[in-house]
Chains A and B, each alone.
Chain A
Amino acid sequence: MEHIRNHRSVYAYAALFLVLVFAVAMPVGLAWAEDAPAGAATEYRDIPGMGSRNLIWIVAQQHLLLAGFVLGVPIFAWVCEIVGVRTGDQRYDKLAKEFTKLLTSSYATTALFGGILLFLLIGLYPKLMNYLSDVFFPSFLVYCALFLLETATLYLYWYGWDSMQGSKKGLHLFLGFLLNVFAFFIMIVPNSWATFQASPVVIAEGSMWARAWAATWNPTWWPVNIHRLIANVVLGGYICGAYAGLKYLMAQNAEERVHYDWMGYVGNFIGVFGLLPLPFAGYWLMREIYQYNQQMGITLMGGFLSWLFILQAMLIGILFVGSNYYFWLGIMHRIPGSEARYRRPILAMLVILLVCLGVWMTPHSLVASLEEARKMGGTHHPLLGVFGVMSAKMTVSNLMILVTFMSFIMYWRAGKEETARWAKVAKAGQGVLLGIAVVVVVVLGVWGYFVPAITRINYFSTTQVLVVLFVLLTVTPLTGLLMKSARTTTEMVWGVMPGRAGYVLVLNAVMVILLMTLMGYARSSSRVHWHVYGVMQDTSQYAYSPALGYAAAIMALNTFLFCLLVAFIFWVASMGGEKKGGPTDTAHTKAKDAASPAVGSAPAASTGHQ
């Protein structure tokens, strides 16, 4: 145990060192900041070398990622707590508590970065902040009030966990609900500031409250709210998965392996649960952007940001494949005897996913030399060019969602036998529904090539989305009903997943974080050289949007910093739990060679509800 602690100390010191370097470097940089000529109002300040924009970029990104985590975890924890109450399985309650413990330290870190960001914005972009303060001052007050309520509720929720068990559990659940309600409002208030910058509305004369309210209700506010809400659930789930994956790899005995294997499963499950509807929310947001301003939509999808969406496709594709792969590993390793049964469908699903990913990643115009372009007859390849258009991409993204959903259902059913009399009919019905959905999605996708774009966007794509949503919303409860009365034929064995399962969980989390950084850059760059689109122009030396390669390097740096930060928070939070002997650290018996898996209901944390 001693050497583990030594390792931990080294990591902690390294993380602390980074934070300190950052904290010291910032004021020094600011001391060099330039100011406006005497007599003129300062519009911008700069930090030589690093540049004010890069600093804002890094701090804002860390704050946003932490905020996503802090808002996603309460949803995750609350859902786990409810599942624990409903099923009577104490592991869910312990898992919820374990993650709520993280909230206290991560909440403070998020607020710290929020404060740093605010001071930097006021100092480096005074012109913009003056304008936004003038428009949004009332909502600043609301934001402060919400923070007070959220903090008080969080303290009650966390510190009252043990005392609010038994008959008071309902009150504790209500506190969890309140925590999420306040967290939701804490998210949507600043969303209004950011979305106003992208899609400002004409602000009529009126009281300051009326002006703030009008600016808040801008066209992209609700699409962003919904998109971020779902994305936070995804982030919370996958970070939980990554934490479990790391701890699984570092596990010292069978008990730890069992616990973290199960935790990884829950994290991945919640991540996928959020991931499936996320593209629909993204589609809605994109539609609203197009309706608000064609120019902005075109800048995103057809202008200099168009290649960004190829990268987005790559990241989402890896995330889908990674999530499916984890499900498949689970089927193969946790459910003895299922390998022979599921090998072929898994192979088929893998091929479909890879083909879909290939189509999704095909660019509309290819990078080609003049000679190559002449041979192709233009920048559009005669065959690949067909896959580069939206009709093909909408079709494959819907198919990937359906395949992932099938993996999820397959995993749910594995090792169980339905006992309900209507099971056969229900399963046949589900199969038919899934088949029809696939046919409809493909037919509309192909048909989309032969109709005007407006028809495809308004009717065909929307129908594809609705059909897939319908399948998700009907097959899930039906399978739930079937599984309620199902008989377990093969007990699930926890703690026997290969090491690569842990790495897949980490990879999935990295993909989600990268996606958030990538789309943050897209959202910000879609405003091009405007602080507030069409209203306040960026006249600083950073009024340009950097090329994708440079931006990707900053995104990678941000992702790495965030991973270090989260690791630090997890480490700090785990220090308190070590002495208490919580679920994470119950395994003090140092059975390094204890590879015996947990089967059936042998150890306390062995079998799980699928």
Chain B
Amino acid sequence: MFADIRWDALQEYFPLFLKGILMTAEITVISVAIGVVLGLFAGMGRISHNPIVRLIPNIYVGFFRGTPLFVQILLIHFAVLPAIFGKSPAAMVSGIVALSLNAGAYIAEIFRAGIQSIDRGQMEAARSLGLSYSQSMFHIILPQAVRRMLPPLGNEAIMLLKDSSLLAAISLPEVTYYAKLMAGKTYLAWEPYLTIALMYLVLTLLLARLVKFLERKYGTV
């Protein structure tokens, strides 16, 4: 089985795979960054005492957590963004919008869980020392919460990295797109898909390492 791997074909397409995996990494980093910002606001909104403030983040998280990412990608690229801009944006724009919005919904829940896991005595103590609610939140609660959020955030980043493969459907030239291109031209399956599987694995293992390092540096334990 492995004896007849077509190394020549693999060699021909490998430069494209490298180009693709860079795009995958780029999309993931940008989307996680935007997702963290979105998630911070949505997560804070969801624990607000004001029901009107809660409403929008609740709908947002409900929708993006409750529908498949693949459907969100198709919807955003082929319907929502063309309706807003009058024409299809570049696949990269749609891809980042879809992944960020999706990540933001999950990260909102991570923030909410992180904040709520901090003993309420912390907030009470901060308030009784004369800090305002937002001062207490940003200087007392969040710094402690973020430490606890590191493992699930790392998890989310790894998920997003893998799920970015779905963007091949809107012709975003990330690594899965190039693997499908190779499969379409050579009718091979092992060569393209096993190769990119290993490339993803390398990235996710590196990411896991990074999270572990950050945990050790800033984490609670």
A and B: interacting chains: no
B positions within 8 Å CB-CB of A: none
Chain A residues packing against B (C-beta within 8 Å): none
